[in-house]
Amino acid sequence: MDARSISAWPWPDALDARTAAPEFHALLYEDDRVRVLDGRVPPGATVPVHTHRWGGVLYILSTSDFVRRDPEGNVLMDTRESGAAPIVGSATWGAPLTPHTFENVGSQEFRTLTVEMKDDPRNQSG
């Protein structure tokens, strides 16, 4: 989903990562342009269904294998099969994410700092 179409975001605010899974998403900073989250998922933990409305830059502090599933339990990504686990110390773009769960199936904490880029209100339609 294009970040400029944020006004058309179809999922309720109740599914926002900070609302639906606050124990896994600590708020470090927020204003009208950005939100900075400290994401921590211990080994064996599953983050409940949530969304990420805004895309942003993820800085990887620690990594582990994980499985991302849709709300019905269908696997969207399994790093054990794809080999796509992020590299510690790297930064990557993360697009907005529709409702999903996140299960840490590895032996280490999965931790990211994410700078979510909110839309500039001048770019929103409506």
Kindly list the domain boundaries of the chain, sorted by start residue: 3-119
Categorize the per-residue pLDDT at 26 as very low, low, confident or very high, splitting at 50, 70 and 90: very high
Of 125 and 66, more confident: 66
d(CA 102, CA 109) in angstroms, rounded, equals 13
Q: How many residues does the chain have?
A: 126
Percent of the chain with pLDDT over 70: 89
For residues 70 and 104, the answer to whether their CB atoms sit within 8 Å is no
d(CA 80, CA 63) in angstroms, rounded, equals 12
d(CA 13, CA 48) in angstroms, rounded, equals 15
pTM summary value: 0.85
| CATH 3.40.50.920 holds for 3-119 | no
* Average pLDDT value over all residues in the chain: 90
- What pLDDT, on a 0 to 100 scale, did the predictor assign at position 7? 59
- Tens of pLDDT, residue by residue over 80-102, are 999 888 899 999 999 999 999 99
d(CA 33, CA 98) in angstroms, rounded, equals 21
- Tens of pLDDT, residue by residue over 11-24, are 999 999 999 999 99
